[in-house]
Amino acid sequence: MKSHYRVVVIGGGVVGASVLYHLAKLGWSDVCLIERDVLTAGSSWHAAGGIHALNADPNIAALQGYTIDLLSEIEAESGQSIGLHMTGGMHLAGTPDRWEWLQSSYRRFQSIGIEDVHLITPEEAGRLSPVLNTEGILGGMWADREGYVDTTGTVHAYAIAAKKRGATVIEHNRVLELHQVPEGWQVVTEKGTISCEHVVNAAGLWAKQVGRMAGIELPLSPLAHHYLVTETIPEIAALESELPMVVDLEGFTYSRQDQKGMLVGIYEIDHMHWMMDGAPWSYGIELLQEDPDRIENELMAAFHRFPVLQTAGVKTWVHGAFTFSPDGNPLVGPVRGVPGYWCACAVMAGFLQGGGVGKSLAEWMIHGETEADVFGMDVARYGDYAQNKEYIRQTTGQFYSRRFVMTYPNEQLPAGRPLKMAPAHDAMSAAGARWGESWGLEVPIYFAPEGFEETPTLKRSNAFDLVAEEVKATRSAVGLLDIAGFSRFKVSGPNAEALLDRMMACALPRPGRAKLAPMLSESGRLKGDLTLFNWGDGSWWIMGSYYLREWHMRWINDHMEPGVHLTDISDAMVGFSLSGPNSLKVLEKLTDGPIADLPFMGCGRFDIGLIRARIGRLSVTGELGYEINCSAAEHIALRRALLDAGADLGMREIGFEALGSLRLEKSFGIWSREFTQIYTPGQTGMDRWIAWDKDAFIGREAALAERDGNGPAQVIATLEIDATDADASGYEPVWHDGRRVGFVTSGGFGHWTGKSLALAMIDRDCAAEGTALSVHVVGAERAARVIAPSPHDPEGVAMRTT
């Protein structure tokens, strides 16, 4: 063991071994992995080892696909057998809603290039798995790239391949302490102290403790998980080919062949947390006592689906623990304020996702960013609120129990809620607000009469007419929206302007003005679609998406310089927006200031009733609009004043569902849909906000290369779809003459224009206005066409005039 390495990876499971391999593969060979016991001595050794390319998050699915493709390469490179059985597999639907969901999912997977998937009938399912009882099955989705691996062999294959590239593996050496020093880290182990630049927490069941060694509280918890392996089953022994993987979505079970018997795994409703503060250091290659009573209902469902199990003996019970995050996705990436500390934790499907996690983390560390959009597993998608133990208990338990439960796009899940609430929350609830959640904060999605309950669905819900009324009120009169769910960062200090000029690709706004501000990475890809306010008093505000608070704070902090003060004021400053032709009339009732003189994209301080507010004249709805910001203590008073002033002007409180419809009618993109960290300004239209004459800003050279080159292969276009009872929502494939040319980034119904609309990333040669296309909406192909951007008020007259 050397005294210095560039990177120390803590944890010898499949994730740690993959991180080590990818670092070495990308050229960093001075790296080592430290394992307290032996490789796999945690969750990896007892994992079922199943692999499949399907995931509800298409970006995660793409990384899973990468992992599957990598496995055979690792086996060849290492010379270590991984016991790969590529049997194919199926997901089965036993209810009409589930079957509809599978049909929709099949098309979404096509959008991201997963071509080896197709729908099957119950009869086909029975032929593919002769021991399957097809009673009650309506259909299924088959995937060629499903199967399983030998878990121990796979971990060793990663490790051997890494060592062949110069990496080091050190077993039987527990990490005792971590100390941050100016040069990086000191890793105190049982065999001595190692200095390094970077530390990677891939400690699995011990990730909580390794986080706390650096003062980090990670939102994860182990949960116990059952599977069983049967003795030989004669019907299976007699088969000429191996059984495929089967996921019985209604039965909460997954299964596959194991030698001449079966392996059956269960995601039980009655979940059980285990050692929430991390496993004991002495825990290793051992299991928990099986608890058949806790999984009785799921076992009965498995026995019904596979009658051969009814007479089979159980050879082995496996009851072990895996770590889960609140949403079930991994926790990966650097931690803000702790330079050189990296997470690769909560990878509950390590053999399926470990390759993608290792690749992404290595790229991130070495190149500064990842090839794929990994926000879905970025540790920065959570904040301090998620460190609460009860929050972790509720949310991880909810995910586990819903592992095979269908979640509808319009469904609001209860775990960890309500947590953060704007001051006027109770008053808005009394007015009929129905709530969604963003980064722990309750945000209004629409307003409904007492007793109304929305029906979960993939199609237009029974809230459709309620949202329509909110849209119409906004376009014709004035809509009032709680904007506590926007992020706000205050930037000040003698070097604030210089920092912002370097970080933002736009020209900085003059005092008393605001600007849309693209923020780019060094490679010219997007890091933010922000709004920058220059209040004229030496202070600036950056406003963006509330759920990106930690993500943006980390990026800006990484580029900070002396003489700049950055403060997240998102919870201290809240407010409401007014949108619609009567917006100014409302404000004129409440102020004697020159509010009518405030120009489009202007900002300033105004007295609104008793409140000294900061106001910006802008709107995501495309109407005349104002964003009114106040302190949290004034939120209730501001709402009351605005409602009173708007009572005779047609004012209506609205939610973010209406805002979604309004912004689609203006072809306005949003983050995580039209704007992501893998898209460029040219693809998304954000290039129109770039100040090309600026001498320097982050990403300038790459943005210029895109502008002056051949341009992007795909661009965002606005589509009108001939939909009936459902609208596109995201990741539906877009077709032109039978050729897939892109996918929907977001969609919905434009209640004012009366059109089913979508924004889509499509091939540039198909983006001309009038091009005939088609889109699969909830599995059904619908005619569509490219239309001019901003189907409502294309000249932008409404929002620019008073």
**Could you identify the residue written with the tokens 């050879």?**
315
Residue 62's pLDDT is what? Answer: 84
Q: Which of 84, 85, 80, 83 is nearest to 156 (CA)?
A: 80
Q: Is 237's pLDDT higher than 90?
A: yes
Q: Is 55's pLDDT higher than 90?
A: no
Residue 112's pLDDT is what? Answer: 81
Amino acid residing at 791: P
Each residue of 725-734: pLDDT tens digit?
A: 999 999 999 9
Residue 702's pLDDT is what? Answer: 97
Residues 6+ apart with CB under 8 A from 160: 78, 79, 80
Q: Is 301's pLDDT higher than 90?
A: yes
Rounded Cα distance, 89 and 243, in Å:
9
- The mean pLDDT value of the chain amounts to 97
Q: Residue 347's CB: how many other CB atoms inside 10 A?
A: 32
Tell me the residue ranges of DSSP E strands in 356-512. Answer: 433-438, 441-447, 478-482, 486-492
Residue 769's pLDDT is what? Answer: 98
Q: If pLDDT is split at 50, 70 and 90, which confidence band does 611 have?
A: very high
Q: Is 54's pLDDT higher than 80?
A: no
Residue 312's pLDDT is what? Answer: 97
How large is the average pLDDT for residues 529-536? 98
Each residue of 547-566: pLDDT tens digit?
A: 999 999 999 999 999 999 99
Contact 305, 251 (CB under 8 A): yes
Rounded Cα distance, 427 and 637, in Å:
11
Q: Is 406's pLDDT higher than 90?
A: no
Portion of the chain with pLDDT greater than 70, in percent:
100
Q: Is 60's pLDDT higher than 80?
A: yes
Each residue of 697-729: pLDDT tens digit?
A: 999 999 999 999 999 999 999 999 999 999 999
State the SS3 of 588-632.
HCCCCCCHHHCCCCEEEEEEECCEEEEEECCCCCCCCEEEEEEEH
Residues 6+ apart with CB under 8 A from 59: 372, 373, 374, 375, 376
Q: Is 674's pLDDT higher than 80?
A: yes
Q: Which domains does the chain have, with CATH numbers?
A: 4-324 (3.30.9.10), 486-569 (3.30.70.1400)
Q: If pLDDT is split at 50, 70 and 90, which confidence band does 113 have?
A: confident
Instruction: Give the C-alpha distances (Å, rounded to integers) separating 581 from 427, 585, 586, 646, 659.
Output: 25, 8, 10, 12, 16
DSSP conformation class of 275:
-
Instruction: Give the C-alpha distances (Å, rounded to integers) separating 41 from 201, 346, 358.
Output: 16, 16, 19
Q: Is 56's pLDDT higher than 90?
A: no
Residue 59's pLDDT is what? Answer: 82
Write phi, then psi, for 521 (nearest 5 degrees).
Answer: -85, 175
Residue 740's pLDDT is what? Answer: 96
Residue 52's pLDDT is what? Answer: 85
Q: Is 591's pLDDT higher than 80?
A: yes
Residue 342's pLDDT is what? Answer: 98
Q: Residue 39's CB: how many other CB atoms inside 10 A?
A: 22
How large is the average pLDDT for residues 316-325? 97
Residue ranges of alpha helices (H) inside 477-600 are 496-503, 549-558, 583-588
Rounded Cα distance, 16 and 203, in Å:
8
How large is the average pLDDT for residues 774-791? 97
Tell me if the pTM is above 0.85: yes
Rounded Cα distance, 603 and 509, in Å:
10
Rounded Cα distance, 493 and 537, in Å:
11
Q: Which has the minimum average pLDDT: 351-360, 404-413, 497-506, 646-655?
A: 404-413
Hey, what long-range contacts does 692-696 have (CB within 8 A, 24 or more apart)?
694/501, 694/505, 694/507, 696/502
How large is the average pLDDT for residues 586-598? 96
Residues 306-322: b if buried by 16+ CB within 10 A, e if exposed: bebbeebeeeeebbbbb
Residue 61's pLDDT is what? Answer: 85
Residues 245-259: b if buried by 16+ CB within 10 A, e if exposed: bbbbbbbbbbbbbbe
Residue 328's pLDDT is what? Answer: 95
Q: Is 410's pLDDT higher than 80?
A: yes
What 3-state class would DSSP assign to 261? strand
